[in-house]
Chains A and B, each alone.
Chain A
Amino acid sequence: MSSPDADQPTASESVDDGAGGRSHRAGGSAGLSQAVVVYAHPCYDSFAASMRVAAVAGLVRAGHEVTVLDLHRDGIDITGPIPEDHLDALATAEVFVLVYPTWWGGQPAILTGWLGLIVDLPGRVLPRARRVVAVTSHGSSKLVNALGGRPGYHVLRRFTAIACAPRATRDFIGFYEIDTAGAAARTAFLDRVTERLSATR
């Protein structure tokens, strides 16, 4: 594990993710386990941005050092290559969290491309990732998503088997019917995201 700078902010000071900054680190003092959050929504006032803040807050509360990889901000080219700093962060990640909106049943094109580039690389790019969590919103209901076949879930399953630690476990935290959901349902979901991730060891 890399030893973080002594100057880095402590976990309690860096809960504020801001959901709009550059890919950056939050949390961090010596010996913390590494968590990587990959974020794939073009707008920073979206519900996905709130999910990102909730996820980072939970991970920091759990005592992880968190690195956010923001695919739009980093200008990812879906034809490659993956930026070196992404690969460096993924190499040490023990917890891997994906925050994205579900479009047409699965990950947005930018994330589909990024995941595809990673599995095309030789070997396991996230060899230490023992926990993989998806945090995602859906326009349609859980039933309609089941009828649609949940392709995004199955892509993630396959990605975990190819790129993450051999016995990595998965968690899928989904929000449904976002277009008609009220403020209370949204807040309750965001609280659930923070709570679930704060229990990630």
Chain B
Amino acid sequence: MRALIVFHGNRESVIGGEVMNAVTSTLDRNGHHVDVIDLLDSSFEPVMTSAERRAYMTSDPISDPVVQHYAELVSQAELLIFVYRSRLTTMPPSIKGWLEKVLVPGVAFHFDAQGKVRPSLTQVRRIVGITAYNDGWFTVRRQFDAGRRTITRALRLNTGWRTRTQWIGLYNSLSATSEQRAAFLSRVEHQLEQL
């Protein structure tokens, strides 16, 4: 499958280092085509400008070549993977801005004859979220995990209900022992092997 990884993280962190290595090497080993968008290392500007907002509802919503490139990648992806550290129960603003600017009308969705929103990313077969939390599993669930909801619910409305979703979390990540981290990494590898 064609995989697209949307990633925000420091290469020295668990998420940016060990997790990203595990994800890319597992996908490579299984013969998937892998594209990586590293938002910390990109010239992508997450904040919507007034010009971009005005262009949003026109037939030509994208002007930035970086955004155009990302739109082409996501339109081909069969596997979408998001990798980040959670803050305030949600994704970093860079990934939120990526959704806002790249997944515009004509890329992620279109309007049918009745003016209703219809999904355009129907080639996406699976969405995977991999994230580290400061809190434990129970606390994260009690806080309703907005990042997970955005990706597995709001985003999935634009890929269609046949798309499967998977969520892999490292909980209490700041106090995780090396055994817990290793267990998390093997879970990431195992889940991606199953694709």
Contact = CB atoms under 8 A, between A and B. Distances in A.
Interface of A: 41-43, 46, 72, 76, 78, 103-110, 112-113, 115-116, 119-120, 139-140, 144, 147-152, 154-155, 157-159, 162, 179-180
Contact of A158 (B46, B88, B94, B103): B88
Given A43-B54, A155-B88, A116 B93 contact: yes
Q: How large is the interface on B (under 10, 10 to 19, 20 to 34, 35 or more residues)?
A: 35 or more
B144 interface: yes
A181 B82 CA distance: 34
A179 B90 CA distance: 27
Interface string B70-97: 0000000000000000011111111011
Contacts of B155: 104
Contacts of B147: 151
Interface in B116-163: 117, 143-147, 149-150, 152-155, 157
Contact of B53 (A43, A109, A113, A158): A43
Contacts of B92: 112-113, 116
A139 B94 CA distance: 22
B144 A103 contact: no
B96 A109 contact: yes
B50 A149 contact: no
A151 B143 CA distance: 10
B93 A110 contact: yes
Contacts of B50: 42-43, 72
Contact of B99 (A104, A110, A120): A104
B48 interface: yes
Nearest to A139: B117
Given A105-B150, A157-B144, 8 more contacts: A42-B49, A103-B99, A104-B96, A106-B150, A109-B93, A110-B47, A151-B144, A151-B147
A42 B48 contact: yes
A108 B91 CA distance: 12
B161 to A, nearest CB: 10
Interface of B: 46-50, 52-54, 87-94, 96-97, 99-100, 103, 115, 117, 143-147, 149-150, 152-155, 157
Contact of B115 (A103, A149, A179): A179
Most chain-A CB neighbours within 10 Å: which of B49, B97, B145?
B97
A119 B149 CA distance: 20
A133 B103 CA distance: 28
Given A116-B87, A180-B115, A147 B157 contact: yes
A108 B48 contact: yes
16 contacts: A42-B49, A42-B50, A43-B50, A46-B53, A78-B93, A103-B100, A104-B150, A108-B47, A108-B48, A109-B46, A139-B117, A151-B144, A151-B149, A154-B89, A155-B90, A158-B146
Given A119-B87, A148-B154, A106 B48 contact: no
Contacts of A154: 89, 143-146, 149
Contact of B100 (A109, A119, A157): A109
Contacts of A162: 88
A108 B99 CA distance: 10
